[in-house]
Copies of this chain bind each other. A is one copy, B any other.
Amino acid sequence: MKGAVVSEGGGVVAELTRPTPAGDILGALVALFGDLHETARTSGRDVVGAGVATPGMLDEQRGIVQYASNLDWRDVPLLDILRGELRLPVAVGHDVRAAGLAERTFGAARGSDDFVLVPIGTGVAAALVTAGGTITGATGAAGEFGHIPVIPGGEPCTCGQRGCLEVYMSGAGVARRYREAGGEPLSTRRIVARLGEDPLADRVWGEAVEVLAHGLTTLTLLLDPRVIVLGGGVSHAGDALFGPLERAVSAGLAWRDRPAIVRSGLGGDAGRAGAGLLAFGAAR
C-alpha cells in the first residue's frame, strides 16, 4: 500500500509505503490514512480530502469494489467505509484509471484528450481516455487490455482463456516463456539485458513485442488515441522496446499514421498521484 500527502499541484509532501496485510486490509488502509493525516497535521498542512486508487472491478460512482481478486474483496462499499472512518471528503477510483488521470494532468499525456495508458508489469491493463473522459464501461470493467485475445488458440492464461496479450507480453509472461523454452529462471529485466547475445531471449522478447504491437494496433484502430503511454516495469526496457514496437505498430496500420508511443512520465507513482487528484476532486 503506497500512500502520500500531496499538494494540489501534485507535489509529494510525505510518503508512506506498507505491505498489504494478508488479513484486515481495510483496517490497515484506515490506519495508513490516519498516519498520513497525522503527518500532514504535524507539518502544518490542512487536509481537504482523501483519495484511494484500488485494483479490481469498481462502481466508481458509488465507490463500491465489486471484485478485486488480489485483495479478496467482493462488493466492498469502500467509499462509505472510508467516509465513516476518515470524516473527510473521500473519492474512490480505479488504480489504472487514476494513473491515467495523473498522466493526463502531470505526466506524459499532459493536456491530451485522447490517449491510452498501458501499464506493463506482472500483468497488463489500460486506461482508455477519450474526449468524453476515461472509459469505465457498463459494469466498471473497461480496459482489460491484458486479456484481449491476440493469438487464437494460443498459450493458456491464468484467466482461463488462451492467447491473451499478457501471456506473451508482461513481466510474468516473458519470464515464464523464457524459462519454459529451456532458459534459466531470470527476470524479464535480465532477459532484456541479454538481447543480441542470447537467441532465446531475442525470440521470446521479439514475440512479446509483436503481440504488444498487435494489441496496440487494435487499440489504435478502435480508439484512435493521440498518444500511447507505456508504464510499468517493462516500459523501462528502453530502445529494446520502443524501437521495434514503433516499427511493428506502423507496419500494422495501413492507411493511417501511428500515434506517438512514449514512456510514462510518472512511472510507479502515477496511481498515487491519481489518488491525490481524486481527493482534491472530492474536496471541491
A77 at the interface (CB under 8 A from B): no
Partner of A132, one of B133, B214, B226: B133
Q: How far, in angstroms, from A236 to B159 measured CA to CA in the complex? A: 34
Assess the A222–B222 pair: CB atoms within 8 A. yes
Q: How far, in angstroms, from A225 to B222 measured CA to CA in the complex? A: 14
Q: How many copies does the complex hold?
A: 2
A95 at the interface (CB under 8 A from B): no
A224 at the interface (CB under 8 A from B): yes
A22 at the interface (CB under 8 A from B): no
Assess the A224–B136 pair: CB atoms within 8 A. yes
Min CB distance A145 to B, Å, is 7
Interface of A is mostly: loop
Which residues of A (247-270) have their CB < 8 Å from a CB of B? Answer: 252-256, 259
Q: How far, in angstroms, from A280 to B102 measured CA to CA in the complex? A: 37
Assess the B114–A148 pair: CB atoms within 8 A. no
- Which residues in B have their C-beta under 8 angstroms from that of A157? 254
- Which residues in B have their C-beta under 8 angstroms from that of A126? 222
A237 at the interface (CB under 8 A from B): no
Given contacts A112-B138, A147-B221, 9 further A-B contacts (CB under 8 A): A114-B138, A131-B135, A135-B135, A136-B224, A137-B225, A140-B224, A144-B221, A150-B152, A222-B222
Assess the A222–B145 pair: CB atoms within 8 A. yes
With A130-B135, A138-B114 known to touch, is A254 a contact of B147 (CB < 8 Å)?
A: yes
A219 at the interface (CB under 8 A from B): yes
22 residue pairs of the A-B complex, CB under 8 angstroms, read: A130-B132, A130-B133, A130-B137, A131-B135, A131-B136, A135-B135, A136-B224, A140-B224, A142-B223, A145-B222, A148-B218, A148-B221, A149-B214, A150-B152, A152-B214, A157-B254, A159-B254, A159-B255, A160-B254, A161-B254, A219-B222, A222-B222
Assess the B149–A252 pair: CB atoms within 8 A. yes
A113 at the interface (CB under 8 A from B): yes
A170 at the interface (CB under 8 A from B): no
Q: How far, in angstroms, from A219 to B149 measured CA to CA in the complex? A: 10
Q: How far, in angstroms, from A219 to B138 measured CA to CA in the complex? A: 13
A29 at the interface (CB under 8 A from B): no
Q: How far, in angstroms, from A149 to B148 measured CA to CA in the complex? A: 12
Partner of A223, one of B135, B151, B160: B135
Assess the A256–B141 pair: CB atoms within 8 A. yes
Chain A 200-234 per-residue mask, 1 if CB under 8 angstroms from chain B, else 0: 00000000000000100111011111100000000
| Interface hub of A145, A222, A226, A252 (most chain B Cβ within 10 A) | A222
